[in-house]
């Protein structure tokens, strides 16, 4: 009789758009053993979101606001959660790469989300930034989906809180301008502390 497999760990790389989540996720993939299956929100849903926005005559760069949250974001995160839960039941670790602002800013929501992911072991890696660094990165990358964020930048920063640590257990990776290089900060030994 075979033993039931342990669920894989879920690594959540969260932070404001432009904070450096993709870079941190790539470093984690290089350093974790076994390497997790990466589920990146933009890779999974970028084309679908663009088509939905066009079909509803919404601005192509819209990624914030009440309409987006109700008609798109809720479904993106629901699908990522369901996929992560399914993948990890086979024992495969999963890395989720998205802002996850709602999930990480409230302890009750975090606990509910961990349950939806299939329970522990869920590890949050929060990528810290600040308003000035974030603005520079958004302008530099020139991504059309950042147009709405930059047009109402103060409101965007207020929602994202790029410099305010979440109230749930996490490892912080500092990606502000004066911070040490990410390669020095992203090391698996941090998760053992």
Percent of the chain at pLDDT > 70 equals: 95
Burial state string for 138-177 with b = 16 or more CB within 10 A and e = fewer than 16: beeeeeebbebbeeeeeebbebbebbeebebebeebbbee
Residue 41 has φ and ψ, to the nearest 5°, of: -55, -45
Residue 123 has φ and ψ, to the nearest 5°, of: -120, 125
Task: Give CA–CA dist 159/161, Å, rounded.
Answer: 6
Percent of the chain at pLDDT > 90 equals: 82
The answer on pLDDT for 4 being more than 70 is: no
Q: What is the pLDDT of residues 143-183, one digit of tens each?
A: 888 988 999 999 999 999 999 999 999 999 999 999 999 99
Domains and CATH numbers, the chain: 10-192 (3.40.50.300)
Closest CA to 113 of 166, 36, 55, 163: 166
Q: What is the pLDDT of residues 37-64, one digit of tens each?
A: 999 999 999 999 999 999 999 988 888 8
Q: Tell me, what's the pLDDT at 3?
A: 53
**Model confidence, pTM:** 0.92
Average pLDDT of the segment spanning 87-109: 96
Average pLDDT of the segment spanning 125-143: 95
């Amino acid at each position: 009789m075979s033993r039931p497999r342990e669920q894989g760990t879920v690594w959540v790389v969260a932070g404001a758009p432009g904070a450096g989540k993709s870079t941190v996720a790539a470093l984690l993939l290089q350093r974790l053993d076994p390497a997790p299956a990466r589920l990146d929100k933009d890779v999974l849903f970028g084309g679908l979101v663009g088509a939905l926005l066009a079909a509803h005559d919404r601005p192509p760069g819209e990624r914030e606001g009440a309409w987006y949250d109700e008609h798109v974001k809720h479904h993106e995160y629901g699908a990522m959660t369901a996929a992560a839960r399914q993948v990890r039941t086979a024992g495969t670790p999963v890395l989720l790469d998205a802002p996850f602002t709602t999930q990480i800013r409230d302890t009750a929501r975090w606990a509910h989300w961990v349950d939806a992911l299939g329970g522990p072991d869920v590890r949050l890696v929060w990528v810290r930034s600040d308003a000035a660094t974030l603005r520079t990165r958004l302008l530099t990358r020139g991504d059309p989906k950042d147009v709405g964020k930059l047009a109402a930048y103060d409101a965007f920063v207020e929602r994202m809180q790029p410099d305010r640590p979440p109230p749930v257990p996490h490892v912080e990776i500092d990606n502000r301008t004066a911070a040490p290089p990410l390669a020095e900060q992203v090391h698996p030994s941090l998760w053992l502390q």
